[in-house]
Structure formats: structure tokens, C-alpha cells
């Protein structure tokens, strides 16, 4: 007999925006938030990778999928969710996503920055990593593709979250960034690691900046 999974938190009445929610950690986060009672806007961008013997086909398939299966699962469990394809490299997308969430559910008070423009780039001359995956030399193109999504995209979403949070006088909010590598570096995925370190700094700034404002305006963005 299937065992029901107990929701660890009660998020009834809260609205969540989850990026990169068509597979992996983003999809799992969206499912859990919905199970806890939050209404969820799932965003995703279908990515089509070239064949690479070192990358499982299942992972490539997941990256080019929509979020329909995740959406269907949430709804079948009684949750409320909406899926929207969005390219976070477009600087106007942050406002559009928050507008959509507000029109469908209400003001967003949970932001999950999970999406990535991941590329395996390197400073080394070798073109294969230790797992047999193809590597690319770090170039302006590889750097910009990753940073545009992982750092700038996350920053613009945080900024939109904070602006609306202040404007409506909100007193509760959560911003979560899914990161790895960070300050320790990320060999053979160097732009990815650096962009995630930038995202950590951005998120920590968002957690700290509202503090001094609390005495003048009632609002906060706890990490």
C-alpha cells in the first residue's frame, strides 16, 4: 500500500515561483511546495543539447521537456499550479513572471532560484573531463550564457521580489538559491561555479538589506 508523505510545513495561502521546474531539483521543489499548500508558478526553458557520450540521454531528455508532467502530478494531488516557459536571459521576463503569478494566484512570497544556463567550460586545454564529458574552453560566450541566467537572471528576480514586497508592505517572504561550487570553485564547470558564487552573494544581500529598513517600514526577506 502506498505511504502518504506528510507535508513538513503548512504553506497554505503562500505563492511560490520556482525556476527550472521541469525536472530535477526544481521539479521536486515545486511538488513539495504544492504538497505543503502553496500555489506554485513553475517556469522552465527547453534546452536542446548536442549528443555527448558522457551525458546520459535521460538527462538531455529532461532538459528539453516541458513541465506538463510535473504540473499534472501536482494537480492530481489536489495542488494548484501553473507552468510557463520563460527565458531568464531576457531582462524583461522577471516582471512578466511576477505579473503572471499575481494575476493567477496573488503576490509571490516564495522565490526559488534554481534554473541554470549550465555549460561545462574550463581553463584547461583538455576537451574531455574525468567522466568522459565534452568540455569547452572558457570564452566570452560560455561565460555570458551561464552568468546571464544563474547570476543576472537570479538578481533580477530577487529585485522584482523585493520591490513588490516593499510596495505592498509585506512582512513575510523567502528567497532560496540552489547553488553548488561557490567560493571553493568548480573545476571543469568554471563559469557555473563562479555564477553560483555570485548568486550566493546576491541572496545574502537580499537577506541582510531589509534589516535596517524594519524600523521605518515593516518588511523583511529572511533567507
Q: Is 59 a catalytic residue?
A: no
Number of H helices, E strands in the chain: 8, 7
Spot the catalytic one: 118, 161, 192, 219. 192
Cα–Cα distances (Å) from 109 to 37, 55, 100, 113, in that order, read 13, 36, 14, 13
CA distances (Å), origin 37, targets 15, 19, 30, 81, 174: 9, 18, 11, 11, 15
CA 32/CA 55 separation, integer angstroms: 27
Task: Write down how long the chain is.
Answer: 223
Sign of the alpha-carbon dihedral angle for 213, 88, 112, 183: negative
Q: For residue 110, what are the β-bridge partners?
A: 16, 174
- Catalytic residue IDs: 192
Amino acid at each position: 500500500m502506498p505511504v502518504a508523505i506528510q507535508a513538513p510545513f503548512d504553506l497554505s495561502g503562500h505563492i511560490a515561483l520556482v525556476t527550472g521546474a521541469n525536472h530535477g531539483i526544481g521539479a521536486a521543489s515545486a511538488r513539495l511546495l504544492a504538497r505543503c499548500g502553496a500555489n506554485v508558478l513553475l517556469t522552465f526553458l527547453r534546452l536542446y543539447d548536442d549528443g555527448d557520450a558522457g551525458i546520459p540521454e535521460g538527462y538531455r531528455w529532461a532538459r528539453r521537456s516541458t513541465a506538463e508532467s510535473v504540473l499534472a502530478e501536482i494537480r492530481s494531488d489536489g495542488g494548484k499550479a501553473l507552468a510557463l516557459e520563460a527565458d531568464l536571459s531576457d531582462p524583461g521576463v522577471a516582471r512578466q513572471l511576477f505579473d503572471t503569478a499575481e494575476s493567477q494566484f496573488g503576490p509571490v512570497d516564495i522565490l526559488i532560484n534554481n534554473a541554470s544556463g549550465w555549460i561545462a567550460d574550463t581553463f584547461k586545454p583538455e576537451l574531455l573531463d574525468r567522466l568522459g564529458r565534452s568540455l569547452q574552453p572558457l570564452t566570452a560566450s560560455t561565460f555570458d550564457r551561464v552568468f546571464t541566467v544563474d547570476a543576472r537572471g537570479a538578481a533580477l528576480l530577487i529585485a522584482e521580489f523585493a520591490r513588490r514586497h516593499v510596495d505592498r508592505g509585506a512582512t513575510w517572504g523567502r528567497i532560496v538559491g540552489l547553488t553548488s561550487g561557490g567560493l571553493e570553485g568548480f573545476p571543469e564547470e568554471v563559469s557555473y561555479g563562479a555564477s553560483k558564487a555570485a548568486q550566493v552573494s546576491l541572496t545574502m544581500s537580499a537577506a541582510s538589506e531589509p534589516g535596517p529598513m524594519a524600523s521605518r517600514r515593516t518588511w523583511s526577506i529572511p533567507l
